[in-house]
Amino acid sequence: IHERTLREYQIESKLPSAIESGEIKIHFQPVVDSGKGQIVGFEALARWQDDELGQLPPAEFVRIATASGHIGALTLMVLRLACDAFRPYLQLPSSPYVAVNVSVSDLYGECFPDTLMSILEEEGIPPQRLVLEVTEDMLLGDTATVTAALARLRDNGVRIAIDDFGTGYSSMSYLSSHMVNIIKIDQSFVRRIVTKESDQKIVRAIVSMAADLELSVITEGVETEAQLQFLYRHDCAMAQGFLLSRPLPVGQLQAWLAQDGDQ
Ligand code: C2E
Ligand code: MG
Ligand code: MG
């Protein structure tokens, strides 16, 4: 307990300067449409290499940033970095999006939609090309505030994706309320998709429900050709995972596109 507390304390105290100094960077992981052979989008994932603590897992420092009140600054920094790195790819023929993960406290912040829109304007990114990834749990709790924030973003053209779908506490009402555009099926259902019948049934059910509700579906964590083929045959062509590409430093994206992408 002592060690864990010490580590959390170190991470918390290093966070503000890591955010400000540019020590925290982003990688982009492409999302691919395996049917069309096109890039659908790029998800920005935060990366932090600390001299003392080494490479810190984003899930850990994001959790600590959320608990300590630094998440707002982290989200806006990631958004700026993501917009900046994405600008050269606005013109790709497949019109890809850039996706940024947001936390529930971002959505509770009253100014969040306005701040986000002004960053998009400064960075020259049309709101239609931004996707915000939220988790199911965020859409519980104080739903009025979150719904109002999502409605303002949606009215401005920003799209919302439900991340890690199927792992949280779902209130299905948000899926039919036109607040959400994309469902990202969690990698835990994809891992055994080729062999485990219950996971196949769940994925088929999600794909069918999404089609009825006119939502797009992306599967996360696709690691094998067999998984990709299975998903393609079950009307789930949009995928993200190590098979297609690991998250890449933004400087390596151009080379990846030239080799594997659709340019
Ligand atoms: P996520 O948003 O669901 O991101 C997908 C995670 O799955 C990433 O982990 C990615 O590296 C990993 N992944 C992608 N393809 C595969 C695959 O084929 N196999 C496996 N095993 N993993 C795969 P990462 O980068 O460690 O991020 C973990 C989580 O941390 C993210 O999950 C997201 O919830 C959070 N996160 C990362 N960056 C940010 C950020 O800038 N802001 C916020 N609020 N959260 C972030
Ligand atoms: Mg995500
Ligand atoms: Mg996810």
Q: Is the pLDDT of residue 181 over 90?
A: yes
> Which bound ligand lies closest to the C-alpha atom of 43?
2
The residue whose C-alpha atom lies closest to atom 28 belonging to ligand 1 is 59
Ligand 1, atom 30: closest residue by C-alpha: 59
Residues 6+ apart with CB under 8 A from 5: none
Q: Do residues 114 and 83 touch, judged by C-beta distance below 8 A?
A: no
Percent helix, percent strand, percent coil in the chain, to nearest 5: 50, 20, 30
Q: What is the mean pLDDT of residues 39-52?
A: 97
Rg (CA), the chain: 18
Contact call for residues 136 and 162 (beta carbons, < 8 A): yes
Name the band, by pLDDT with cuts 50, 70 and 90, for residue 263: very low
Q: If you measure from the C-alpha of residue 220 to the centroid of ligand 2, how many angstroms do you get, rounded to a whole number?
A: 9
The answer to whether residues 154 and 174 touch, using CB atoms and an 8 Å cutoff, is no
Q: Torsion over CA of 213, 182, 168 and 148, rounded to 10 degrees?
A: -90
Measured in whole angstroms, the distance separating CA 141 from the mean position of its chain's CA atoms is 21
Q: At 176, list the tokens.
A: 């039919």
Give the number of other CB atoms < 10 A from CB of residue 246. Answer: 12
Average pLDDT of span 56-70: 96
Termini Cα distance of the chain: 50
Q: Is the pTM of this model over 0.75?
A: yes
Instruction: Determine the pLDDT at residue 216.
Output: 97
Q: Over 70: is that where the pLDDT of 262 sits?
A: no
**pLDDT > 50? residue 74:** yes
Pocket test for ligand 1, best of 47, 68, 160, 220 (most atoms within 8 A of CB): 220
- Cα 103 to the center of its chain, rounded Å: 11
Average pLDDT over the chain, rounded to whole?
A: 93
Evaluate: CB of 261 within 6 angstroms of ligand 1.
Answer: no
**Is the Cα dihedral 14, 18, 21, 23 positive or negative?**
positive
* 227 touches ligand 1 (CB under 6 Å): no
